[in-house]
Amino acid sequence: MTSDVDALRREHYNATIVHVRRVHAELVVLRIQPDAAIPPYEAGQWISVGIGRWEDGLGTSAAPAHDAAESDHIARRPFSISSPLLDEAGEELRSKSDETFYELYFGLGRNAPRGGPLPAHLFGREPGARLWVADHPRGSNTLAPVRPDDNVLFCATGTGEAPHNKMIWELLQRGHRGRIASVVTTRHAIDQAYRPLHEKLARLFPQYRYATVATRECPAARLQELFRDGRLETSAGFRLDAGRSHVFLCGAPGMIGAPHFENGRRAYPITTGMIELLERDRGLHAGGSGQRVDIHFERHV
């Protein structure tokens, strides 16, 4: 049996875990290095990662394949690609030439209902463990609409910060001239895994601001509440002016509040999300016929 499993791993696995940072018992940062070189991709995209269904505890109950064209032997799901942000010394922005791995950031509690047992299996693996990774990242939630002088605000709940980390790194790498800010809410301060790195970035780059709020320790601290009472824009350091600002949202669906269509008409969710607030109170748009788009979120994962 062991030889059969080893043969399956050799046949199907094409990447290695090269770094594990367990923030606490339910939160982890992984770096996965594919056997092949990392292809060019856009900041904000995601990558599918998988483990063989033959591994103990996976079986047929694992999450369904994200791409039906892939082998049924692999249980897989998409993960947003994060970024280490700084070099190994923690003194300057990480170089593009150092991109030899994908960094993933996820928590067990948030992802388990959607991803089945796969996140838990990834969580328990150590450096040197083998797994499967897709040939190329995917996703349309990128920085393509952002102009060099635009102000950009990233709003995230929990591990929704992951793709924003990569996008912030990309903006700073390219010498973005507009202001950049990231506001992240977590349940507890211990969940803010990237806070020291972002605080260092804010010291290195005067146009960048970073703020975190622990909602279980600070009342009325959801992102919607921070926007309503002005704390969100105060933390960002700029007003969200239509036509000059872009807002990227990632995390809890209730925070995002993606609109849908009812009887041929566009409608918001019952619970007010950030999209409704930004469209109603600041004139920003999340999309529509002939409209500019300045509110962005991943629609396809």
What structural domains and CATH numbers belong to the chain? 2-133 (2.40.30.10), 151-296 (3.40.50.80)
pLDDT, tens digit, 9 for 90 and up, residues 68-127: 444 568 999 999 999 999 998 888 999 988 889 999 999 986 444 445 678 888 988 999
Q: What's the rounded Cα separation, in Å, for the pair 56 and 122?
A: 12
Place of tokens 């067990």: 108
SS3 20: strand
pTM of the model: 0.91
| pLDDT at position 291 | 75
Helix (H) or strand (E) holding 172: helix 161-173
Q: If pLDDT is split at 50, 70 and 90, which confidence band does 65 have? A: very low
Backbone angles phi, psi at 229, to 5 degrees: -95, 5
Could you write out the three-class secondary structure of 203-243? HHCCCEEEEEEECCCCCCCCHHHHHHCCHHHHHHCCCCCCC
Which letter does DSSP use for residue 82 in this model? B
Q: Are 208 and 181 in contact (CB under 8 A)?
A: yes
Phi-psi region at 230: left, alpha or beta (left = phi > 0; alpha = psi -120 to 50): left
pLDDT, tens digit, 9 for 90 and up, residues 198-208: 999 999 999 99
Rounded to an integer, the average pLDDT of 222-238 is: 97
Q: Which residues of 250-278 are buried (b: 16+ CB within 10 A; e: fewer)?
A: bbbebbbbbbeeeeeeeebeeeebbbbbb
| pLDDT at position 72 | 67
Q: Within 10 Å of residue 26's Cβ, how many Cβ atoms?
A: 18
Least confident of 7-21, 114-128, 176-190: 114-128
Q: What are the Cα distances from residue 16, in Å, to 101, 122, 124, 155, 286? A: 9, 12, 14, 31, 38
Rounded to an integer, the average pLDDT of 59-71 is: 44
Q: Percent of the chain at pLDDT above 70?
A: 89
Q: Amino acid letter at 238?
A: F
Of 112, 232, 131, 229, whose CA–CA distance to 184 is shortest?
A: 232
